[in-house]
A and B are shown apart, each in its own frame.
Chain A
Amino acid sequence: MRDDCLIVRVFCHPESVASYNLCEWDTLISQARRGDILARLYAVLQQNQLLVKVPESVAKHLISAWALAQKHERVLRWEVNRIQHALYATGIPIVLLKGAAYMMRDLPVARGRFYADIDIMVPKVSLPVVERALLIHGWLTAKTDDYDQRYYRKWMHEIPPMRHRRRQTVIDVHHHILPETTKAQPDAKKLFDASIPVSDDESLRTLMPADMVLHSATHLFYEGELDHGLRDLLDLHELFLIYGDDESFWMQLIERAKELELTRPLYYALRYTQRFLKTPIPKHRMQQVAAEGPNQLVLSLMDALYKRALVPVHSSCDIYLTGLARWLLYIRGHYLRMPLYLLIPHLVRKAVIKEKQDI
């Protein structure tokens, strides 16, 4: 638990804001802005009828962020409409992932969420057709470097991001939820088969709730760069709140995690939402998944790392060794996704390119 980190404390105990002085508000707003969750802070305060407790000089930042979130929602809904339009003639079903899925399902987790890009998943065999259709409708590949192109197409679970030439919006087209170089290889077909339509139109779909949670967990706990770690943990927290009342959800979630070889990320998701955000998780379910968790030694290390990294990248959130923890998780993220013989040349190349840009 990071009681010392204001933004974490507010999401656990929103009513604590009532006693904040202006200095504490100052820190809270900076942390939330840095974590890209300022509009989410607005949403949680509004939900708990706490907006009246916000000093006037502070409130304007929440209002401004909320206006921006509304804009993100409008843009996202329109982009989904445009993607549907572009792919309509192909008849290929589109599975919306992450934020786009939460929004189009009108889940409370979408409230005040910002979107950098839109993630969709299509069957791997359909990739050439999808890519061509998007190209015709104005999305161009955003990575023009040959190495990047090869890197994505050969090893990744997505093709290079595509940016719309006029609207500048970005789509990530996935064919899988993990890179092809990862040890765990959940069967993408199972995800497609279990996906559910958003409306009467069968072609626009999302993963089923258990898969949606597993994907969110996989995304966060295979990720090496945790700049948005707290935001992603909040996604999981809210998904557990939305579906957690239903006992059959938990059963399905655990079964599904085993089937897709994703029990480890699920375990971390349950552990850290409960520890950091006080998410209510049934005790016996926690124990059931803990049996699949890492040994005590690894677990202590992971606790120490995530305690430091699942907060915004802001000096007020840092404790001793935060920098080291972030670096180790960065290496871990890459290591999990790529064998060393591929990873080392890749990281060296990235470092050299960065050095060149700096000079």
Chain B
Amino acid sequence: MNISDLSQQDLKQQLGGSGIYLRTGPFVTHLQSKIPSVINNFAKLYANNSLLLGEGFADFHVRLATPRGLRHWYRPQVMFHFDDQVPFKPLPYQQAFPMMEWGLNWCISNHAHQYLILHSAVVEKNGFAVILPAPPGSGKSTLCAGLVSCGWRLLSDELGLISLDDLKLVPLARPINLKNESIKVIKQFAPQAIFSGEFADTSKGTVSLMQAPAESVAQSDQNVKPACIVIPRYTPGAATYLEPDSKGSMFMHVADSAFNYSLLGLTGFETLVKLIDSCDCYTFTYSKLQEAVEIFNQLAAVN
């Protein structure tokens, strides 16, 4: 059963009551919230995700709620509850939905050390999977959103999960987090895509979330072998340019930005060595999204 099979009324009742058990890739999240902006945006962005019926085992128990007392009324806030705990400071009430998204990322990056977790977007086409590790502001999410609106499969826009057993990439297929200028760019580039509302004045500026393509969600149980690692660099006005990168510098870059590389110790090192050895490594400069997608399509075609 998918989220879209529930009527708005049922969804509201369940989320506001005992909660729903949402499946995203390998994880099941027990989610509760009475907040209208969470319910509405959730219904829109997670329409294609499946939900588990009845109670069972949930990896994470998450609830978004307003605090009791003054802050319920005066400049209202929202709190993220995890296992009866509040791991973060509250945010303004209007930011409840992005807070849920960031909170879910936090749940995974802090509790899923059965994977090597890279800070990267991951996309795939015809079995050719590309890891896009990059610092914020490098256009990683923009490029990722551009690719998935042109037929690439979305695995993740933020968390590259590497299985420690077979080095395969594990998909999440959750919404893509777009920031500031890139919201407008993607809305023009992919007018058919589905977006959440826009949330202004967050710690990352204005953000909006883009729904993961239905096919990507449907295939989110299919792990894939990584073929290529590309560091994107969005540079205004620059020509599109794909350039091979050395394995050594790529290793350092990926290790540095991974969430749990040092936590995994020797296992982390050995996994990353094998990963880098098995992948082609590039840096990629771009300013025009259409050209960038074409280069990636060519790359997928020759492999």
Cβ A22 vs Cβ B57 within 8 A = yes
Is B112 at the interface (CB under 8 A from chain A)?
Answer: yes
Is B10 at the interface (CB under 8 A from chain A)?
Answer: no
Pick the contact of B84 from A63, A64, A315, A359 — CB < 8 Å?
A315
A30 to chain B, nearest CB (A): 5
A58 vs B70: C-alpha distance in the bound complex, in angstroms?
39
Is B59 at the interface (CB under 8 A from chain A)?
Answer: yes
Q: List residues 9-53 of chain A with CB under 8 A from any CB of chain B.
A: 22-23, 25-26, 29-30, 33-34
A42 vs B27: C-alpha distance in the bound complex, in angstroms?
20
Cβ A25 vs Cβ B84 within 8 A = no
Pick the contact of B113 from A30, A58, A67, A74 — CB < 8 Å?
A67
The dominant DSSP class at the A interface is: helix
Cβ B59 vs Cβ A358 within 8 A = no
Cβ B264 vs Cβ A67 within 8 A = yes
Cβ B84 vs Cβ A68 within 8 A = no
Most buried by B among A58, A67, A313, A315: A67
A167 vs B264: C-alpha distance in the bound complex, in angstroms?
17
A348 vs B56: C-alpha distance in the bound complex, in angstroms?
44
Which bracket fits the contact residues of B?
Answer: 20 to 34
Which bracket fits the contact residues of A?
Answer: 20 to 34
Hey, which chain A residues are within 8 Å of B267, CB to CB?
A: 67
A60 vs B59: C-alpha distance in the bound complex, in angstroms?
9
Pick the contact of A313 from B55, B57, B84, B260 — CB < 8 Å?
B84
A63 vs B70: C-alpha distance in the bound complex, in angstroms?
41
Is B263 at the interface (CB under 8 A from chain A)?
Answer: yes
Is B265 at the interface (CB under 8 A from chain A)?
Answer: yes
Cβ A34 vs Cβ B83 within 8 A = yes
A170 to chain B, nearest CB (A): 18
Cβ A33 vs Cβ B57 within 8 A = no
A23 vs B18: C-alpha distance in the bound complex, in angstroms?
14
Decide yes or no: A71 and B57 within 8 Å by CB, A34-B83, A60-B112, A315-B84 being known contacts: no
A313 vs B84: C-alpha distance in the bound complex, in angstroms?
8
Is B242 at the interface (CB under 8 A from chain A)?
Answer: no
Is B290 at the interface (CB under 8 A from chain A)?
Answer: no
Q: Besides the contacts A57-B28, A60-B114, what 17 more A-B pairs have beta carbons closer than 8 Å?
A: A22-B56, A22-B57, A23-B55, A26-B56, A30-B61, A30-B84, A33-B83, A57-B57, A58-B57, A61-B59, A63-B114, A68-B263, A70-B265, A71-B264, A314-B83, A314-B84, A358-B71
A-binding residues in B (CB < 8 A): 28, 55-59, 61, 69-71, 83-85, 111-114, 260, 262-265, 267
Task: Across the A-B interface, give the 6 residue pairs with the lowest CB-CB distance, nearest first.
Answer: A64-B113, A67-B113, A22-B57, A60-B114, A71-B263, A22-B56
